Structure 1
Amino acid sequence: MKQLPIMQVLPDLKKILESSKAAVLIAEPGAGKTTGTPPAFLDEPWMDGKTILMLEPRRLAARSAAVYMAACLGEQVGQTVGYRMRMDSKVGKQTRIVVVTEGVLTRMLQSDPSLGDVGLVIFDEFHERSLHADLGLALTLEAQSVLREDLRILIMSATLDGERVSALLGGAAVVDCPGRTYPVETFYAPPQRDTQLEQSAAAAVLRALTEQPGDVLVFLPGEREIRRTERELEGSRLPAGTVVRPLYGQLPQAMQDAAVAAAVPGERKVVLATSIAETSLTIEGVRTVIDTGLRRTQVFSPRTGMPRLTTVPVSKASADQRRGRAGRTAPGVCYRLWSREEHTRLPDDNVPEIMETDLAQLALELALWGVRDPAALPWLDAPPAAPYAQGVALLCQLGALDAGGAITPHGRSMAALGAHPRAAHMLLRAATLGEAPLACRLAALLQERDLFKGPANQSSDLTLRVEALLRNERSGDTGGADPAILRAVQRESRNLLAQLQAAPGEVPGDLSRIGLLLSFAYPDRVGQKRGDGAFLLSGGRGAAMREGQPLARSPYIVAAGVDDRAGQGRIILAADLPEAELLKEHADSLTEEREVYWDKESGSVKARRRTLFGALALKETTHERPTAEETEEVLLSVISAEGLGVLPWDKGTIQLRQRMAFMHAVRTDWPDVSDEALLHSLQEWLRPYIQGMRNLRDLQRVPLSKALEGMLDWSNRQTLDKEAPTHITVPSGSRIPLDYGNPGTPVLAVRLQEMFGQVDTPRIGLGKVPVLLHLLSPARRPMQVTSDLASFWKSTYFEVKKDLKGRYPKHYWPDDPLQAEPTNRTRPAK
């Protein structure tokens, strides 16, 4: 340990933490920060016999770090140095350094917010920015601020924005430590098109064994790809003395140790590892790294509504971390199975999990902590508001929070399980029904990728997956299911059973209850049949199944997997839900609603009483009669939605509205009778005239003219008749109707002969608006359009007269129209 670069900066780090509460350590790969730092603080005066907690994101790294530190002290793990992780713990009364995994720190803080026996909390590999690491730091900082001023916090990472973290810690000092690394030469070796991942990885291994000395470390996304690559290598001609070692989190301890340990003399080792080998682990003898550029990560899945493992490209920072594994003990080589161009498109760093995952679990932990607004806590990146609000809404629906946002006893039980709130609620409800074994298997299945690939994957029925899992448990038969996923599901279901204190060997009984159990996890995804494979979900959205699915005939289903990328969701996984069980087991969530609505088919207002589960109407009766007030409200809403065209607009009513619109254009204090204004004020001007009406036929009896006139007082009605008259009497004595189709320009269409003797254009609208004269021929064809009659007589009339006299020689065409006698006949009467 004396040779580790970290030893150079430990004196400075000790001095900083002696006088301050926090520090940041940026240590390059190979510096020995993970195993060299915690023991250095055991005898510090401010520790006073207290414990050191170190949060290590990965189980394998946590166990390895604890074992290595214990060995350096000449002890077994569980003495001075121990570890605690889910379903595995090695600590004793003398333990002073406890390496914990994510979730364990959160549980420790929730049970003892002051961390009374802890002197220092270390967050290792903080650059990975998992949700639990961000939450753990936020809770630890509040505990330090409110309860434990003497508690020290140390953030450690190889790649991290030290200044941002320092600011979060109140300006904590940042210590940089160089690593002990050797140069690594990088080769870009993209595989041939259509080559399977395991084939390209195996080919790269054979190349490395031929071209390079030492052992080989291959980064693969997960256990399935490791097993396939292992089989590919077994079928190839490996050089004599080559051994292949898998390395992933769920591997038995002895096999993990064999992968990490130095190769036996005379052997070369090929380690096939997931990203757990990316940081905090030194694998002895590795001189070559082969990186497939992929990693398996847990992200929020809109399909399942829970976190789910998915495969994504690595970031540039992760790729550099992986490459550095080849230079820990000597100069090395890294083969990247992608092109230089593809490398430029990789993200610079991994997105913090808090920014892209479902936040229901975070909201539950904060409620358990006593915080309703996450802004009350210090965050490096605050939880996004919209996903957090969605998480809170889900918790309320699951009964974990009350109406005020405070945690309920049921919510405390859910948090104690540590599973996603959907799964936790399902497990607790299932336990009360004696269905824990089935629920644990369902929860495990939903957290993993689909068991089936190929044609078997086309079925949406989740029951088939459960049957395949149980068949494998009984006889080992995979039945077309992925063996690696089967093993992962079985491990997780055993863990969940242990947490529920259920018998691990107990076999699920009635598989027909799968839908009911799923409905506890997904109360927002209970689907009601619409027809043709389409369902309305209780959350209000629509979703449909692929053609030919037997489940499409079910009246009710629960959609455990929904692809939301299209306009209407596509149901990927589901199970049948008997209506009787829905009504019985969700009775507390059912609501009664009386609804008055518009029935389009009959064109009338009706009333119904419905039993609702979310957006679903489970029962409905239509025998009730709506009240007059309810009917009027619905009729007005129909008019508002359909438009004023549903009302009886006769010619006189249309002209009245046009005249009122003309007066509004003249004086803005007059009522506005535009479509928008009338629809906005239906309650005021129309409601009194639809009393007693119930359907579209009744609406045809609305006295619209009377309703419009009701918008005017007596004085305005007098003004309307005078200033926006329906007719104008012209010099011939005829009463000619005015056309108000364009409210700004009323039109008077009149034969030219009837206007003889009229000097000026008639004006209306308080004398402000000249009418637009359409002067017509005897055949009532427009000959001239003018709003300046005097000018017309002086000039244009004589040109028009020539044309009219030739076409209508029997008619009267005087030389002086202002002195002539107007007539509505061929010639004036003698």
Structure 2
Amino acid sequence: MNSIDTNDLPVAACLPEILRAASSSHPVVLKAPPGAGKTTLVPLALLHNDTVTEGQILLIQPRRIAARAAASRLSHLNGTPLGKTIGYHVRFDRCASSDTKVLVLTTGMLLRRLTIDPLLENVGCVILDEFHERSSELDLALGMIERIRSTLREELKVIVMSATLEPEPIVEFFRRSGTLAIAIESAGRSYPVDIHYASSLSRQPIDRQVLDVLPNVLEQTAGHVLIFLPGVGEIKRVHRAIQNLQISPEYDVFDLYGDLTASAQDEVIRPSQRRKVILSTNVAETSVTIPGVTAVIDSGLSRMMTFRPQIGLPSLRRVPISQASADQRAGRAGRTEPGICCRLWPKAAHHSRRENDLPEIQRADFSRAAMMLSAWGERETLDFPWLTPPSQASIDQSKKLLQRMDAINDQCQLTATGQRMVALPLHPRIARFLIAANDCGLPLRSAALAAALMTERSPFSNRSQVPGLIDQIAAMSRFVDGDRSLEVSTSAAKQMERVSNQLIRTMGTKSLAEHASDPHLDHGANRSLLSRALLAAFPDRVARRRDENREKAVMVGGRGVRLRGEALTSDANLFVCIDVDDKGVDADVRTAIAIQQDWLSDHLLQVNQEYEFDPSRESVIARRREYYDDLMLSESPIQCKPSDAVAQQLFDASRGRCSELVRGQNRDAEMFLTRSRLLAKWMPELKLPMLDDDAISEVLKELCRTRTSIAELRSAPWLAMMKAKFDYSQQQQLERFAPERLVVPSGNSIRIEYHEEKPPTMRVKLQELFGWTETPTIAGGRVKIQLHLLGPNRRPQQITDDLASFWKNTYQTVRKDLRSRYPKHDWPVDPLSAKATHNGLKPRTN
């Protein structure tokens, strides 16, 4: 091993403690600032201390650029060729051998390895570096490794390293599984950094803002200048602007981002006597250390991985960085000597920024992680050991998508299709698209270009030239063949070409050039194959036009959409929405691909007989409906017959109308209900059945079982159904203590009216009560009947519940008033001795 100046790297002082903790199988949580030497010294210390660990050492880096750089530096320091003792494996690129003892992997490659080798059989130690980035894959990897270590492989060493993340939450994570983790913190190596802020928020483009401060920065410092920009597009624009500025020929301008070739990345990092201006994404924030930087210009922006609902895929979105990220960027200027940092935002706005970034698992698409868990045999996502668990909504949405794509079954087990998908280092949608394209015979060149167009930055500056996906695939195919007639961003188009080549290699062939003879998509059959492959990847984006409006449609999930631009060019009834702008009442669809109904997956098709209550008909109607997932494809009316489903619909529609329905065609049922309820209240000792609302609902439910309409319920035998709740003795008690009618002195049987909130009443002609001395009562004498005493005109002349008082105090006044108006009627002076008559007329004399 080449000599390393351990005094020059602060982590060197921590190595004995790290090795002791690892030797005792305690997980280690190391916090060390960027440049402290953790990525360099810890793997080499483990490599050269055989007593600490046996087996391969896996160093996990979240970024490809960092993985390649770390492997290169470790090999150099170890004095061995890259790919021998120390190697790396990133997506589409592997440099390792059977002799490799330290393998630097990206997190994605570790997760793939875990699906193939779930116990990491020949691995002695896993080092999770740059854990503060908190990608979903890092969180998933931590949980998987701890599950292995705590259940089956206690000897597996685990070291978690971070530049900024506090150790306590990770130590607590290990404690929950019964493990004592050792937290170690290393000092950093830094010098003062003088931070300057913009005077105000600028509306100028980023390239203009950078050019405003760059000359002054170059004059104030003698070292390299590191400029943080959000993405590749901004890097290219600033690069052109600096070249046009022609400040000085004594420095070189370099770009630094994840998709650079390995040789280009090495050139940026390699020490140089010439001054450098380095335009970088956030890969230089902590993942890559560049010696000699003394000045930083920070745009304050980055592209963060979020879920992009427009295309149903993860996407990099430009967002303000957190305060913690800003501090990390500024610190890059003070690694070797005092430096300066120019922030392109005002100081007043700095404190309104988030202190730390949210973990990716709380803001990004979860479907890739969900598929990896299924591949690993996990069934209950929230039972998995998470440092920060995903939301239940995110879990449910991801599982539903994977089931729709036929990647997992209802038990969250991988299907045959899912097993093929998980073998590809791609988002599940793109993996499903390429598998479907391969299965249906779509030319691989077109499939790879389509996948790249869905995932990468669009190269087309003028979308009107190439409005649709098929046009864009054809244009990119021409670009690859050397046609430069279209207006495109060359850098974006080259990146798309690189990604397409990588995808083709993933599928087992060499490059786009090898497929130059593939048929073009202007062939009708190939367009159909593309549509079928897109349908497999976007089963949740199927939409059906609304019959009444050609522009409007409804999508799986019930979301309304409106077709715009080129999406309107097709008259197809069914289509897949590829690019959706989910704003407003209806989401705008900018790109749509027509499909045919017979292409739809059988496992998502179903035919149902459905029932619903039609208020206009006051009856349940039945329809036969065909669905794709929850999207109705067709419907037709069918005969509605009584069934449990019909009964439930009718019951739900009528339960609030019980009073009306009990009344039915006459009032007998309603009066029986009121009588029984009142008597149960007046004489609880009788223990009569209580016909409360719940009991009446049960009667209604029973009647609904053999009926389909409100009209049938109105004519239903409500009285008989309610009487059936009472046995013979109870019915007799009801008739005795709360009778329907009462015989008065005239011999007539008069109906008693019962009321829930008022006393019972009886409307009776005054002459029919002659001879009665007291007010009649019911309920064993506990309740008086209120008498409505009617005149010959059938109108109440007096209302009383004290008949004796009426005869004594009021009758003579009523008699005087009525005898002159109705002389034929009987108005005796003494009503108590007079004979009652049912018609009220004077008795005839012979």
Q: TM tier, shorter chain?
A: 0.7 to 0.9
TM-score (norm 1): 0.85
Residue 180 of structure 1 corresponds to 189
1:438 aligns with 2:446: yes
Residue 431 of structure 2 corresponds to 424
Counterpart AA for 1:5: P
1:527 aligns with 2:527: no
Tell me how far 1:86 sits from its aligned partner: 0.5
Q: Do the aligned partners of residues 750 and 208 (structure 1) sit closer, same or farther apart at CA in structure 2, a change above 3 Å counting?
A: farther
Counterpart AA for 1:517: A
- Which of 62-71 and 394-403 deviates more? 394-403
1:125 aligns with 2:138: no
1:99 aligns with 2:104: yes
Could you tell me which of 13, 20, 31 is aligned with 1:8?
Answer: 13
Tell whether the 8 Å contact from 1:309 to 1:448 is kept in structure 2 after alignment. no
- Which of 98-107 and 210-219 deviates more? 210-219
Q: Write the distance in 2 (CA, Å) between the matches of 1:391 and 1:55.
A: 26
Q: Write the distance in 1 (CA, Å) between the matches of 2:218 and 2:774.
A: 108
Q: Write the distance in 2 (CA, Å) between the matches of 1:298 and 1:775.
A: 85
Consecutive unaligned residues of structure 2, counting only runs of 5 or more, are 682-686
Residue 160 of structure 1 corresponds to 165
Note the alpha carbon deviations across 1:260-306, whole angstroms, 9 max, x for none. 345644x4x33221110110322233222222222212223344333
Counterpart AA for 1:637: Q
Tell whether the 8 Å contact from 2:374 to 2:412 is kept in structure 1 after alignment. yes
Aligned pair count? 813
Q: Write the distance in 2 (CA, Å) between the matches of 1:88 and 1:77.
A: 13
Q: How does 1:623-642 map to 2 (within 5 A)?
A: 629-630=642-643, 634=646, 637-642=649-654
Tell me how far 1:117 sits from its aligned partner: 3.6
Q: Write the distance in 2 (CA, Å) between the matches of 1:458 and 1:730.
A: 96
1:299 aligns with 2:306: yes
3-state DSSP of counterpart to 1:41: helix
Tell whether the 8 Å contact from 2:612 to 2:649 is kept in structure 1 after alignment. no
Q: Write the distance in 1 (CA, Å) between the matches of 2:739 and 2:265.
A: 99
Residue 557 of structure 1 corresponds to 575
3-state DSSP of counterpart to 1:276: helix
Q: Write the distance in 2 (CA, Å) between the matches of 1:415 and 1:493.
A: 19
Tell me how far 1:499 sits from its aligned partner: 0.8
3-state DSSP of counterpart to 2:540: coil
Q: Write the distance in 2 (CA, Å) between the matches of 1:496 and 1:317.
A: 36
Note the alpha carbon deviations across 1:169-210, whole angstroms, 9 max, x for none. 411211111000112233332654543344334434345345
Counterpart AA for 1:335: C
1:333 aligns with 2:349: no
Residue 656 of structure 1 corresponds to 669
Q: Write the distance in 2 (CA, Å) between the matches of 1:320 and 1:204.
A: 19
1:381 aligns with 2:388: yes
Tell me how far 1:225 sits from its aligned partner: 1.9
Tell whether the 8 Å contact from 1:317 to 1:349 is kept in structure 2 after alignment. yes
Note the alpha carbon deviations across 1:63-105, whole angstroms, 9 max, x for none. 2222222233344432433221011122234433221111111
Tell whether the 8 Å contact from 2:564 to 2:588 is kept in structure 1 after alignment. no
Tell whether the 8 Å contact from 1:400 to 1:408 is kept in structure 2 after alignment. yes
Q: Write the distance in 1 (CA, Å) between the matches of 2:778 and 2:183.
A: 85
Note the alpha carbon deviations across 1:500-541, whole angstroms, 9 max, x for none. 114532355323433321211122332222232343434x42
Q: Write the distance in 1 (CA, Å) between the matches of 2:815 and 2:407.
A: 90
Tell whether the 8 Å contact from 2:677 to 2:692 is kept in structure 1 after alignment. no
Note the alpha carbon deviations across 1:760-792, whole angstroms, 9 max, x for none. 554445544444556778877778766666778
Superposed CA RMSD: 4.1
Identity level (%): 34
Residue 67 of structure 1 corresponds to 72
3-state DSSP of counterpart to 2:230: coil
Residue 224 of structure 1 corresponds to 233
Note the alpha carbon deviations across 1:301-338, whole angstroms, 9 max, x for none. 34433322222332222222112112112222223333
Q: Do the aligned partners of residues 814 and 374 (structure 1) sit closer, same or farther apart at CA in structure 2, a change above 3 Å counting?
A: same
Could you tell me which of 401, 409, 412 is aligned with 1:394?
Answer: 401
3-state DSSP of counterpart to 1:295: strand
Q: How does 1:629-778 map to 2 (within 5 A)?
A: 629-630=642-643, 634=646, 637-643=649-655, 653-667=666-680, 677-685=695-703, 687=705, 690=707, 702-728=716-742, 737-740=751-754, 742=756, 745-748=759-762, 761-765=775-779, 767-772=781-786
1:543 aligns with 2:550: no
Tell whether the 8 Å contact from 1:125 to 1:156 is kept in structure 2 after alignment. yes
- Which of 813-822 and 334-343 deviates more? 813-822
Tell me how far 1:642 sits from its aligned partner: 4.8
Residue 81 of structure 1 corresponds to 86
Tell me how far 1:259 sits from its aligned partner: 3.3
Note the alpha carbon deviations across 1:607-642, whole angstroms, 9 max, x for none. 6655543234556676x756x553x75256234325
Tell whether the 8 Å contact from 2:674 to 2:756 is kept in structure 1 after alignment. no
Counterpart AA for 2:146: L
Residue 38 of structure 1 corresponds to 43
Residue 684 of structure 2 corresponds to none
Tell whether the 8 Å contact from 2:306 to 2:360 is kept in structure 1 after alignment. yes
Note the alpha carbon deviations across 1:19-60, whole angstroms, 9 max, x for none. 334211111233121122211222213257743211011111
Q: Write the distance in 1 (CA, Å) between the matches of 2:815 and 2:490.
A: 100
Q: Write the distance in 1 (CA, Å) between the matches of 2:51 and 2:435.
A: 43
Counterpart AA for 1:516: R
1:517 aligns with 2:522: no
3-state DSSP of counterpart to 2:317: strand
Q: How does 1:227-626 map to 2 (within 5 A)?
A: 227-236=236-245, 238=247, 241=250, 243-262=252-271, 264-265=273-274, 267=275, 269-374=276-381, 377-435=384-442, 436-448=444-456, 462-474=469-481, 477=484, 485-502=492-509, 504-505=511-512, 506=515, 507=518, 509=521, 510-531=526-547, 532=549, 533-538=551-556, 540-546=557-563, 549-550=567-568, 553-562=571-580, 570-571=588-589, 573-582=591-600, 586-587=601-602, 589-594=604-609, 611-618=626-633
Q: Write the distance in 2 (CA, Å) between the matches of 1:704 and 1:19.
A: 80
Tell whether the 8 Å contact from 1:263 to 1:284 is kept in structure 2 after alignment. no
Tell whether the 8 Å contact from 2:379 to 2:411 is kept in structure 1 after alignment. no
Q: How does 1:780-799 map to 2 (within 5 A)?
A: none
Q: Do the aligned partners of residues 731 and 472 (structure 1) sit closer, same or farther apart at CA in structure 2, a change above 3 Å counting?
A: farther
- Which of 601-610 and 135-144 deviates more? 601-610
Consecutive unaligned residues of structure 1, counting only runs of 5 or more, are none
